[in-house]
Amino acid sequence: MKINLELLGDHLEGKFTLFRYKIEREGHSVNIFLSAEQMNAAAEYDDPFEAVLELQNIMADSGFTVLQTVTIENGDGSIEELEFVDAFDGITHEPWEELTPIEINTADYGNIELVSAGGHEFIINPEPDDLKPTEIVENLKSIFNQK
């Protein structure tokens, strides 16, 4: 099964800053903002995609093919920006395993925890989103074919 993962951010002064992502499959989607902790991880590892690495690992570990797209919401129009998009937009990540369920739990403070059978974990902080945590969970279940 194929899932679209759109990574949205800004590209200014030669640097991409990811601040939200959208997961979509067969008409079901959820748009989620990264937490400050997740955004700081990207800066710490000097990798703009570090913030969603475990999410990508969960999907690959659970048998999903992921089509990654990159959308620049605010850019400087530089050559570096064009090269960045050219290098990272339209990449397909193949699954590592057969299709297996992703565990979806409501954790502390209303956060949503995703866990793959292989032990990869990812936390979604629903606070900045317009949707309630229960609505995000229902959308995720539809996307991951768990309804």
User: Strand pairing of 103-106 and 91-93?
Assistant: unpaired
Kindly tell me if the per-residue pLDDT of 147 is higher than 70. Answer: no
Task: Give the model's confidence band at 19: pLDDT under 50 very low, under 70 low, under 90 confident, else very high.
Answer: very high
Average model confidence (pLDDT) for the chain?
91
Structure letter (DSSP) for residue 50: G
Angstrom distance (rounded) from CA 120 to CA 40: 19
pLDDT at 114: 95
Q: Within 10 A of 90 (CB to CB), how many other CB atoms are there?
A: 11
pLDDT of residue 47: 87
Query: Quick check: 102 pLDDT over 80?
Result: yes
**Residue among 25, 30, 19 nearest 2 (CA):** 25
What's the rounded Cα separation, in Å, for the pair 144 and 64? 9
Question: What tokens were used for 140?
Answer: 């995720």
pLDDT at 119 (0 to 100): 94
pLDDT digits (tens, 9 = 90+) for 63-99: 999 999 999 999 999 999 999 999 999 999 999 989 8
Average pLDDT rounded to a whole number, residues 31-58: 88
Q: What is the pTM of this model?
A: 0.91
More confident residue, 97 or 58: 58
User: Percent of the chain beyond pLDDT 90?
Assistant: 71
- Interval 117-125 mean pLDDT: 93
**Strand duo 121-124 + 65-75: pairing:** unpaired
Alpha-carbon separation of residue 89 from 17, 97, 118, 147 (angstroms): 15, 24, 27, 30
